[in-house]
Amino acid sequence: MEEEKNDFASGGADWLFQSRFKAQKPAEKIFYLIYDNLNRIVSMSTKLNVEDSEHKVTTITREVFDKLNTDNLLNYIVDENVNPPAPINIAGEQSYRSLEIPEVIHWADNRLVLIQFVKSTRKLNVEVKSQLPAVKKVWIIPRGNYMIPLLELEIQNQGVFEYDIPTWQNSNECSCISNQDIEIFTAYREVEHETDL
């Protein structure tokens, strides 16, 4: 009995509840990341509000919450290709590196940057829906020929832009490559005619 008195004296009521009633630790807080249809982060919170219902929501860890609190949220978008969706920094160099050259090959209307090549007119239409936090370099090349850049672009400013793509031999197809993986926020496609846009 003497040992219990010593423990109670040093631990107080917390020790008493834990030893006698097996008190549970308080529940972990849930941290929410709220983002829009372009996967831009709208807000973060420990509880959901009614106004958040018009946006998408994912949960994040305390560490990610703290990191985002000290950083500029405009530098991030939410990657929905992982489970659960997670924020990634699009301002700096991504950690993704491999021997492959990052190529944008998918089309989705909800990306921040839309790049469309019209084969009949050889026009490249670029739409940047929201200012990017840093400049991203993109090259348009003949399909499968990485050594012949037909056009080099620096993408950052919001707006709609049009470029002429020079011809190269008999190639009528182009690829969109970059020096880093930008496909998470960029979409590319080729169409035959402008009416297909």
Task: Tell me the per-residue pLDDT of 167-194, one tens digit each, with 9 for 90 and over.
Answer: 988 888 999 999 888 988 999 999 998 8
Cα dihedral: 137, 162, 164, 105 (round 10): 50
Helices (H) and strands (E) in the chain, counts: 2, 13
Domain ranges of the chain: 1-89, 103-196
How would residue 1 be classed by pLDDT, with cut points 50, 70 and 90? very low
Cα separation, 77 vs 38, in Å, equals 8
Give the whole-angstrom CA distance, residue 156 versus residue 6: 66
- Radius of gyration, CA atoms only, the chain: 25
- The per-residue pLDDT for range 52-85, each reduced to its tens digit, is 778 999 999 999 999 998 888 888 999 888 888 9
* pLDDT band at 90; cut points 50, 70, 90: confident
Residue 24 pLDDT exceeds 80: no
161: Cα separation from own chain's centroid: 23
CATH topology of domain 103-196: Immunoglobulin-like (2.60.40)
| Residue in this structure with the two tokens 């549970």, named with its chain if needed | 24
Q: In this structure, what token pair is assigned to residue 59?
A: 């949960």
Condensed to tens digits (0 to 9), the pLDDT of residues 136-166 reads 999 999 987 888 899 999 999 999 999 999 9
